[in-house]
Each structure stands twice: as C-alpha cells, then as structure tokens.
Structure 1
Amino acid sequence: MSATIPFVTPINQISLEPGSQVTITNISWQDFETILQELGENRSARLSYSQGILEVMVPLPEHERPKELISDIVKILLKISKKKYEPFGSTTFKKEGIAGVEPDACFYIKNYQQMISRRRLQSGDPPPDLAIECDVTSKTNLEAYQAIQVPELWVYDSGKLKIYLLENGQYIQSEISPTFPNINLTQIIPDAVERSWQVGSFQALEELETIITENLD
C-alpha cells in the first residue's frame, strides 16, 4: 500500500503497517534532517530522499529474507575471493542538500580499511563500494544512489537481480559485477533466493557455497 501526503510534523505521528509506503513531497533538506532525528536509529521504517521527495517504507518478511540471504551470499563470495570487507548494513548515506538513502545492505571492499574504526560516518568518507536493495513494497531510487555515487548497486526485484554500475555519474545496467567478474550473479542469486523458500536459508546458502567452490576449483 502506498500513498502521497504533504509534510506532517512530527513525522513519528504517521502510523505505517508492514508493507506500507508513503511518499511525502516538498521536503527541504532541513526537513529531512529533522525527520531523521525524530525517527531515530532504532526504527523499522526505511527512508529515501531525493529532489525534495521523501519515501518512507516499512518492509515485509517477504523483503527481509532476500535482503539477509543476498547479504550472506556477498559475504560468502568475498570470503571465497579472499577479499576483505566491512559491512555497513542500512546505514544512512547522505549527499548534503541533495539526497539520502538507506540501503538494505552495503559493503566497503576497496575502502574497507578506511572504515574499520568507524562507529559513525564522518565528513569526507567515501560511499560504500557495493549497495544492495530488495524491491518489494517500493522501488529503488536510482537518482539518490547516483547523487551519493555508489559505484555498484544490486537491485533484487520480482525474482530477478539487476546490477547497476556508475559510469560518468549515471547508472548503466550490466550482466557482470566487477566485484565478482567470474560469477554469474544474475542467475545464482535469484536461484538461491527461490531455493530458500523451499528448503530454508541455511540449506540454500550451503548448497550455493558448494556450487561456487566446485566451479572455481
């Protein structure tokens, strides 16, 4: 369920059921910052802001399982690839005065070392190297991610994985991830998510890890 409403203060008076999405128009950057403070960090709602439009979404379990599974798959792939990383979950990333996003999951890979000690983001910190979004009740705001300059974005939607790469400030869709160039992610990830609904996430991940390891041997 989605709705478009004018700005309401305080924002925490808006009651949203799981699976709901609200779009709020004519939001200034200061409004966005105020809303973040009002809602706090311990909340179920996820926010996306770009060009004066704020989207507030409360996820369903149908959203949470793919999110967790794909995040676990990334960790498995990074381990197999012997790549170090720092996961930053649904941290709020902002481009001052322009955009703000909270990915379902994100990872620092090339810049992991710089972020090891970070308890909070600091001015000048780079965006995550990889962000993941699962679209169930809402659609990913590509413009916001472009503004924040996340170099690689995965969007899982309706049983398909789309890989977006940032080139000259714009996203182009790709079949290959530069982070994992030798792995057919657009096939194995949707297959693993579907498999998890049949046998559970633990077994689906075990099976996937076995397949990947065998193929790379």
Structure 2
Amino acid sequence: MTLGTSIVKPVSQIQLSPGSVVTIPNVNWQEFEAILQEMGEKRSSRIAYSKGWLEIMVPLPEHEKPKELISDMVKILLKKSGRKYEPFGSTTFKKENVAGVEPDACFYIQNYQRMINRRRLQPNDPPPDLAIESNVTSKTTLDAYEAIAVPELWVYANSKLIIYLLTNGQYIASETSPNFPSIPLTQIIPQIVELSWQVGTVEALAEFEKIIAEISF
C-alpha cells in the first residue's frame, strides 16, 4: 500500500521567469496576507488578489520602460496644470478580506495633501486617484482595482492605452481622463512610448512636452 505525501513549498521558493503568471485558486485572506509577508517587499514579482484568486506576475523588461515613461508623462501633465501630487509607486493596496493589488505606478492627486506624511498606509486611507498598469491585465487584477475603488486606471498593453473610469462600482472604458480632459491621451501616449524605443526616453519626453505645450489645460 502506498500512501500519498503532500509536499508544501513556500511561494517565495517558486522560480518564475520574466513574463510568467501563476494563478492560485481558493486562497483565503489569511493565506494571502501570509504569502505577502513571506514574499517580502524586495521582489520583482507583483500580486493581484480578488475573490479567492491570487495571481503572481513577473513583468518582462519591456514592460518596465512604458511604466516609467507613462509615470513621467503624468508628472509632466500635473506640473503643467499646476497641480500637486504624491506618487506611491507599487505600494500594496488592500481591502481587508476582499482584494489586494500592486500597481506599476500610482498617484494621489485630489487626496495628495492627506498622504504627504504617509510612510505606511493606514486602514482608512483612500485609494490612489490614478493607477497605471503596463501589462496584459487579467480579470483578477481589474476586479481587485474595482473592489479597492481606484477611480481611474490606465492600462497600457499591445501598444494601446485604455482609460478605465469607475462608474457605479464597475470600470467603463473612456476616451478621456477626468484628470486631463483636454488631452487626447489614448492617442498621444502610445505614440510617445513607441517613439521612445526609437530615439530614447529623454527625446521622447521632450517630444511629449512639445506636444502638450500647444494644448490649453
């Protein structure tokens, strides 16, 4: 008679190559928190958790450049429009017992003043006003953003930018951003990202500044 032996390996020991996505079903909140603690903060992987599903993603290097570039463009837009902000990078945002997600980049704009002195998030802190994802975003990730109630989410994938706005608890794709309503971002941002692969980031951002200089805010 042969007895089956269950082998449990810590998630942190799973070797994932860039571009990999691992989906783990039936993960409860306590397990999710334990996995986050086990994985630590200094890691290349990112997580999304919603409705008992946990996704662990390792971005490709080609995803990093658009993420940084789009984040820089947001800063340029905010500066030109005279608004202050607080960037929170890839902070882990959670709604207890429901969802957790780590954006590629995110910004507090309307709520920037409240977040100036935050070294760690507090339970009653609002979600970021704008989050950015540079990857193919799964339903689990979108569900997590909806649950956490991030009002505006930008997803850059396959050379396209999709702007999602939270409407009655669900994301609806929009051609414009409420934060920058006069800027045709879904047209300009993909052009600038593609340009950066040809001429470099500095030249691409200079071209972006030249374009928006001609637009009234």
TM-score interval, normalised by the smaller of the two chains = over 0.9
Q: Unaligned 5+ residue runs, structure 1? A: 1-6
How many residue pairs match? The answer is 210
Counterpart of 1:197 in 2: which secondary structure? helix
Aligned to 1:139: 138
1:49 aligns with 2:46: no
The change in CA–CA distance for 1:191 and 1:8 in structure 2 (over 3 A counts) is: farther
- Distance in 2 (alpha carbons) for counterparts of 1:207 and 1:193: 11
Aligned to 1:162: 162
- Distance in 2 (alpha carbons) for counterparts of 1:163 and 1:64: 19
The change in CA–CA distance for 1:181 and 1:56 in structure 2 (over 3 A counts) is: same
**Deviation digits for residues 38-88 of structure 1, max 9, x if unmatched?**
011111010000111110011111100000000000000000011100000
CA contact (8 A) 2:106 2:131 kept: yes
Larger Rg computed on CA atoms: 2
CA contact (8 A) 2:182 2:215 kept: no
1:100 aligns with 2:100: yes
- Distance in 2 (alpha carbons) for counterparts of 1:139 and 1:51: 13
Q: Unaligned 5+ residue runs, structure 2? A: 1-6
Aligned to 1:4: none
Aligned to 1:85: 85
Aligned to 1:76: 76
CA contact (8 A) 2:152 2:163 kept: yes
Runs of 4+ in 1 over 6 A off after TM superposition: none
CA contact (8 A) 2:183 2:215 kept: no
Aligned to 1:29: 29
Counterpart of 1:216 in 2: which secondary structure? coil
Post-superposition offset of 1:214: 2.3
> Please, what TM-score do these two structures have when normalized by structure 1?
0.94
1:204 aligns with 2:204: yes
Note the 1:3-14 alignment, pairs <5 A: 9-14=9-14
Aligned to 1:66: 66
Counterpart of 2:211 in 1: which secondary structure? helix
- Distance in 2 (alpha carbons) for counterparts of 1:127 and 1:61: 27
Post-superposition offset of 1:20: 1.1
- Distance in 1 (alpha carbons) for counterparts of 2:157 and 2:214: 28
Counterpart of 1:41 in 2: which secondary structure? coil
Counterpart of 1:204 in 2: which secondary structure? helix
- Distance in 2 (alpha carbons) for counterparts of 1:157 and 1:110: 26
Post-superposition offset of 1:101: 0.3
Letter aligned with residue 161 of structure 2:
L
1:179 aligns with 2:179: yes
Counterpart of 1:38 in 2: which secondary structure? helix
